[in-house]
Every structure is written in structure tokens, then in C-alpha cells.
Amino acid sequence: METDFLVIGAGVAGLRAAIEASEAGRVLVLTKDRLTESASEYAQGGIAVALSDDDLVSLHEQDTIQAGAGLCDPEAVRVLVEEGPPEIQKLIGWGVEFDKEGGRLEFTQEGAHSRRRILHAQGDSTGREIARTLFQKARTIPNIRFRSFSAVADLIERGGEIHGALAWDEKERRLIPIWARAVLLATGGLGCAYWETTNPDVATGDGVAMAWRAGAAIGDIEMVQFHPTALFLEGAPRFLLSEALRGEGAYLRNAAGERFMERYDPRAELAPRDIVSRAIVAEMHRMETGPVYLDLTHLPADFAARRFPRIYSTCLHYGVDLAKQPAPVHPAAHYAMGGVWTDRDGQSTLPGLFAAGEAACTGVHGANRLASNSLLEGLVFGARAGAAMRGRERPPEAEAAPPAREATPLPANAVFNLRRLAWRYAGIERSGEGLREGLEELRKLEPHFHHDLARNSRQGFEADNLYAVISLIARCALAREESRGAHYRSDFPEAVPELCKHSRIALGGSVEFV
């Protein structure tokens, strides 16, 4: 197959980039699951933008940098907050229905924001509404085609440049080379590297792993944000209970029914996510029991159902009526601040390879993403990457696909063991001793995860990608001998000024701080 621009992933970043790139040629958008399955679909909290009368772009910039714990790229943050408002206006023009009150946009507040600047759609379905609108817009553009259920196995690298990707066709059971002038990785996050995660099953770090194998630099990959409040019920998915719940007045209580957050931070429930997550873990250790509980019962009886209909109905489905009882919650892996190292136009260190959204590391989130900046990043940097891709030249002549081989079987419980390992050694709290032990266990497992395109299944490719990503997280976490933002080392509990730098790692190299 051959196209001008190949976009891998159909979340907000991928769709926005596809729309922008389509002005200069044909765009093929690949997804490995149904077209509407992406992390964007699950984004409840909203989208942050300085559009209200009492807000300023400079205040949004200041809040983002403060949350980032010294690692934000100031120029990237300025791009985000300045280009965000016109992107939102464009979305509204395309049909996004943000919630309104009295005919005016309704803004809410979340942790670490100094103003009410969070826009919502249908209360807690903001990502779904934005993705729906972008998908409908993309479907009206003749230059954009979609192909679902195609796991991408690897990138096609020739002479240090990227010229396409190898997609695994599950129906035909073969690898298909797709040649393109430029490739965009919009593959989302890596939450499924961890045992507890709010991410959908597709979030297996594919973009990061493929880019790393091809030789691209990976940045700040140790910076994984753990959301403090995922629904914690046996038999239920780790459904995210939005930070907006705490922003609107929900309390956190321990097993004895006591509020405890002020013991750990004066901002209590509105402290940044990393602080709240560590506080919950510390409180469970102190009480020698878990989980903790998110309590809305002191709010008006109809509040949860009216303001957060999706969250309310999901909890009710699993037997928790938020109007009458607190919900058991536990931290879970939620968002990767690091990823494929890019400039502010989404260009990676490999010519022809771009990345946007959660798969990318633009430096905009630093060491700790400010709540509700992720959808905005997908829009702003997706648009910039799509525009930059238009300048790439045509690829060389197509080559034959590699021959199919016998599948390499996965050991029983292979992925289970990987995710448990990551949660134990490279999770919310880390230590040098634990990380070294985890890396030694990974080395023993390496023969089972040697990526050679012989997996012949989506699950096999994902397993190899998870192994690569977990290894990268552990290596970079071990090298960063300090605590900063979402990265917490019990043996180095303070931030070290000399390490206020970005970690970078590429294939065959060691961790560098730049």
C-alpha cells in the first residue's frame, strides 16, 4: 500500500493531524481496534483553555509550568496556551457541543488550576464529544481514508529516515508494508504497562516502542502520572473517577471514614495528582488497610447524576450509588508525560517520523501534567504536526513485504508478569534497589520478548512493545536519582537542581540528561 501521509491512531491528536495534512495529499488513518477506541474517548475531566472573562493565557501558562515541577519547555507551554483558544473556537465551529449555562460556556475548576477554565461536554464525556466531532469532520474530507483492526508491527526505516510502517492484517494473517511521505505516531499512552490502569486495552506503548526500535530518541519516559481515583471494585474495570469530582467538592476518606488529605498537603483534595496518589498510598499503609473512598454524599442528592452522568451511571452499574455512598478508589497508571522526543512541530529525531498526543514528548507537561491539558495538547500539537508533515518529499519505490514466519509463542502469563513487575518496581514509589531488581528480572525475561516480527498476532506485538516500554521506564527511573513531579524515589526524596533536565535515551545508548 502507498499513501502520502500515514497516521497511526485515531484519537484527538491523530484526527486533528489528519485533517491538517489532508490539504497536501492522501491520508491513511490506521487503528488497531474499532475506529472510536482511543484514550480520547475516556477523557472525562474536560479540556483546559483560557477563554473565560476572569482568565488569562498567562495564568494558564503559569499553572502549567508550576505543575510541571521544573521540566516544562516554556516555549512549548506558550504554544499550547496561545494556540489553544483558536483551536477550541475551531472545534465549536465544527460542531462540538460544550456545556453551557445561560447560553454561555460553562467553566469548572480542577486541582492546581488558579481559575475556572475547564470546558466539559455532556458533563463527563468531553473526550468522546471532541473525538466524535473530529471523526465526522475527517469523514467529510475525500483525501482521508480509515482502516481499522490493523496492528502496526514496526516502522520502515531506510538510511536513517522513516518511509512507512508494517501493518499486521489480522484477517489475511500477513504483514503489509505501507509507504508514506511522512508517518505520524498518535498511538496514545502506555498505561497497560502497569497492573492497575485507567487506560483502554489499546494503550500498550506501541508508538514509543516502535520509534525506539527504529532509532528515535525517547524523552522523560520515567514520568508516568498515576491518577489517584480509579474505581476499585472486584470485577469492575479501573474506571477513572475524574479529578473534576474533587474540584467540585468531593472528599477523600480513609477506611475509618476520616478526611486525611490535609495531613499530606494544605491544598487537601485539590493538590496535584502525584501528591494525592502518594498520599492515598501512604494513608493505606498507615491504616494497614485499603482502599480509600471518594465521597460525594454531602453534596446535593442529584449533583452526581446531573453533573457527571457517565461516572454516576457506571458506578451505579457496579453497585455504587454516588448520591448515597462513597466509592472505593485506588491510584492507577493514567498518563505518560514522556514519549517520542519531538520538536514543537511534532518532528522526531528521525526524518519522516512525527508524533503527537500522549505518544509524544514535547516538554509541555514537564514532570507532571496539569489536569485537562491532555486534550488541548492533542489538538494544538496534532494540528502543528499535520501541517509540518506536508513538507515531506515522496517515498522511494515500494518493496516487497517481509515473508511470514512461524509465530513465536508467548509464555503463559507473560503479560501478566510484566505488568505486575512494572507496578511493583517502577510504580508510584520507586527505589534504586527495587529498580535494579526489576531490571534484573526483565533481563531474565528478555528471550521471550525479542522483537523479530514473528509474533503474527496483535497480542504478540503488544507484548514485545510492553517489554520495551517497561524496560525504558525502569532504566530512566534508575538514572534519575531524585524525586520530581510524578517520579518519586524513596531513596532520593528531594529534587536535585542539577537533575532538572530531560532524560533522553535511544537504541544502543545510555540515559542522558539534556
In the chain, % of residues over pLDDT 90: 76
**104 labelled catalytic:** no
Of 333, 339, 365, which is closest to residue 226 (Cα–Cα)?
A: 333
The per-residue pLDDT for range 392-406, each reduced to its tens digit, is 987 666 566 555 555
Cβ atoms within 10 A of the Cβ of 493, count? 10
The per-residue pLDDT for range 237-296, each reduced to its tens digit, is 888 898 889 988 999 999 999 999 999 999 999 887 888 999 999 999 999 987 999 999
The per-residue pLDDT for range 441-468, each reduced to its tens digit, is 999 998 888 766 666 788 888 999 999 9
- From residue 436, give the alpha-carbon distance in Å to each of 309, 342, 468: 44, 29, 16
The per-residue pLDDT for range 323-341, each reduced to its tens digit, is 999 999 999 999 999 999 9
User: Which pLDDT belongs to residue 399?
Assistant: 62
pLDDT band for position 407 (cuts 50, 70, 90): low
Q: Is the pLDDT of residue 40 over 70?
A: no
pLDDT band for position 503 (cuts 50, 70, 90): very high
Q: Which of 181, 273, 419, 475 is catalytic?
A: 273
Mean pLDDT of 112-135: 88
Cα 436 from Cα 431, distance rounded (Å): 9
User: Which pLDDT belongs to residue 45?
Assistant: 62
Q: Is the pLDDT of residue 32 over 80?
A: yes
78's enclosing H/E stretch is: helix 74-94
Residue 142: CB partners within 8 Å, gap ≥ 6? none
Least trusted range by pLDDT, from 20-34, 119-133, 359-373, 432-446: 119-133
Residue 57: CB partners within 8 Å, gap ≥ 6? 50, 81, 82, 85
Mean pLDDT of 185-202: 94
Helices (H) and strands (E) in the chain, counts: 13, 22
**8 Å CB contact between 34 and 147:** no
List, in sequence order, every residue forming a beta bridge with 166; answer none if it has no partner: 154, 177
Cα 499 from Cα 506, distance rounded (Å): 19
pLDDT, the chain, mean: 91
**8 Å CB contact between 169 and 1:** no
User: Which pLDDT belongs to residue 287?
Assistant: 93
Residue 291: CB partners within 8 Å, gap ≥ 6? 232, 255, 280, 284, 328, 329, 330
CB-side neighbour CA atoms (13 Å) of 66: 13
Q: Is the pLDDT of residue 9 over 70?
A: yes
Mean pLDDT of 478-498: 97
**8 Å CB contact between 85 and 49:** yes
User: Which pLDDT belongs to residue 166?
Assistant: 93
pLDDT band for position 50 (cuts 50, 70, 90): very high
DSSP 443-484: HHHGGGG---S---SHHHHHHHHHHHHHHHHHHHHHH--S-B
User: Which pLDDT belongs to residue 33?
Assistant: 74
Domains and CATH numbers, the chain: 1-223+337-394 (3.50.50.60), 228-333 (3.90.700.10), 404-506 (1.20.58.100)
**Dihedral angle at the C-alpha atoms of 490, 420, 188, 173, nearest 10 degrees?**
150
Mean pLDDT of 488-499: 96
User: E strands, 117-160, where?
Assistant: 118-119, 144-147, 150-158
Assign 333 to helix, strand or coil.
Answer: strand
User: E strands, 379-448, where?
Assistant: none
Cα 63 from Cα 86, distance rounded (Å): 20
Q: Is the pLDDT of residue 472 over 80?
A: yes
